[in-house]
Structure 1
Amino acid sequence: MKAFDLHRMAFDKVPPDFLWEVALRSLYTFILVFLFLKITGRRGVRQMSLFEVLIILTLGSAAGDVAFYDDVPMVPVFVVFVSLALLYRLVMWLMSKSEKLEDLLEGKPVVIVEEGQLAWEKVRGANMTEFEFFMELRLNSVEQLGQVRLAIMETNGQISIYYYHDDDVKPGLCILPESFVARFKTIPETGEYACIRCSHVEAMQAGEHQLCPRCANPEWSKVSRAKRIT
């Protein structure tokens, strides 16, 4: 075998005419995936649960094989799509009858902020870091956690946020990127500080250096009292 053989790299053993068949196969699989998404009533990945994403990945594997390989027949792939569509309908019906099955396949909403502080114990069990949650909150124009009465990570990955009224906003952890927030292990002046990891707020004296009583993190930042701009 010759290295860097451009014809082999481009076509391998298939004739150039097969490219027209690839285009037809791609159109075929595109239509099948489109019809499946119409059947499930979904508009985008952000609206999909873990189970639905799994179904789409399985469909993608079948669609990719039939589009690329000349020895993969098209009818069996159609059967795969029909079988998965029926499986999807069956599982949706079973989940409507069984809350335990729904929790197993779809997961449960996770509370990530309660009364202006990160729900630390619940966040740790959600297989995401606090910084990932902070990014999601920033995308919803949250500057500091004291603005948020309740934030819930839904099963489809979206976050539902319930804000405090401006008059009720609490001092909290500023969740802007690190370059915007000074961090301290030794407290520079007396005041309220928030743990940069779990958002626990503590009144501290100048010169103190202590671990957070909630998560044992040594770094703190001054609390933010910023209100929401609406």
Structure 2
Amino acid sequence: MKAFDLHRMALDKVPLDFLWEVALRSLYTFVLVFLFLKITGRRGVRQMSLFEVLIILTLGSAAGDVAFYDDVPMLPVLVVFITLGMLYRLVMWVMSHSEKLEDLLEGKPVVIVKDGELAWEKLHEENLTEFEFFMELRTNGVDQLGQVRLAIMETNGQLSVYYFTDDEVKPGLCILPEGCSERFKKAPEEGDYVCVRCSKIVPLRAGEEKICPRCANPEWSKASRAIRVT
């Protein structure tokens, strides 16, 4: 085999006119995927559950094979789409009658922030880092956790945020990017300090150094009392 053979790299063993067949196959699979999404009523991946994403990935695999390989017939792929469509409808019906199956396939909403404090253990159970979660909160107009009464990670990956009113806002962890708030290992003055990792609030005396009793992190920042600006 010759390296950097442009004809082999571009077409391999298929004739040039096979590209027209690829175009037809691609249109065919595009229509099938479009019809499937239309039937299920979904507009985007952010609105899909884990089960639905799995269905789409399976469809994508079948669609990709029939689009590019000349030895993959088109009719069996149609059967794949019909079978998966029927499976989807069946599973949706069963889940509507079985809470256990629904929890298994869809998961459960998870409370990540409650009363201004990060549920740090639950966050890590969801395989999320604090940085990813804080980015999500910032896009919802939050700059410190004390503004948040509840933040719930939904089963489709979206975040639902419920806020305190301005007069109810609690002191909390500033979640702006590093550099927007000072961090200390030794408290410069007496006051309430918040763990920059898990949001635990601890009163510290001037010059005091302390390890967070919740997550063993040694870094603190001053508890923010900022209210939301909408």
Check whether TM > 0.5: yes
Which residues of 2 match residues 128-143 of structure 1 at below 5 A?
Answer: 128-143=128-143
Which residues of 2 match residues 113-124 of structure 1 at below 5 A?
Answer: 113-124=113-124
Partner of 1:202: 202
- Rounded to whole Å, the distance in 2 between the matches of 1:28 and 1:179 is 52
Structure 1 residue 108, shift from structure 2 partner: 0.5
- Rounded to whole Å, the distance in 2 between the matches of 1:222 and 1:180 is 12
**Which stretches of structure 1, 4 residues or longer, exceed 4 Å deviation after superposition?**
none
Which residues of 2 match residues 150-161 of structure 1 at below 5 A?
Answer: 150-161=150-161
Which residues of 2 match residues 1-230 of structure 1 at below 5 A?
Answer: 1-230=1-230
1:159 maps to amino acid: L
SS in structure 2 at match of 1:179: coil
SS in structure 2 at match of 1:193: strand
Q: Deviations over 1:93-145 (max 9, x none)?
A: 01001000000000000100000010123223222122211111111111000
Structure 1 residue 179, shift from structure 2 partner: 2.2
1:122 maps to amino acid: K
- Rounded to whole Å, the distance in 2 between the matches of 1:189 and 1:14 is 75
1:65 maps to amino acid: D
Q: Deviations over 1:76-101 (max 9, x none)?
A: 00000000000000000010010000
Q: Deviations over 1:158-213 (max 9, x none)?
A: 11111000011111000011121221111122111110111011111111111111
- Rounded to whole Å, the distance in 1 between the matches of 2:190 and 2:89 is 60
SS in structure 2 at match of 1:160: strand
Q: With structure 2 as the length reference, what TM-score do the two structures score?
A: 0.98
- Rounded to whole Å, the distance in 2 between the matches of 1:68 and 1:206 is 68
Structure 1 residue 217, shift from structure 2 partner: 1.0
| CA RMSD of superposed structures (Å) | 0.8
- Rounded to whole Å, the distance in 2 between the matches of 1:19 and 1:189 is 72
- Rounded to whole Å, the distance in 2 between the matches of 1:130 and 1:41 is 33
Structure 1: give runs of 5+ residues left out of the alignment.
Answer: none
Moved more, 159-168 or 176-185: 176-185
- Rounded to whole Å, the distance in 1 between the matches of 2:158 and 2:78 is 32
Structure 2: give runs of 5+ residues left out of the alignment.
Answer: none
Moved more, 125-134 or 193-202: 125-134
2:92 maps to amino acid: M
Moved more, 179-188 or 94-103: 179-188
- Rounded to whole Å, the distance in 2 between the matches of 1:5 and 1:205 is 72
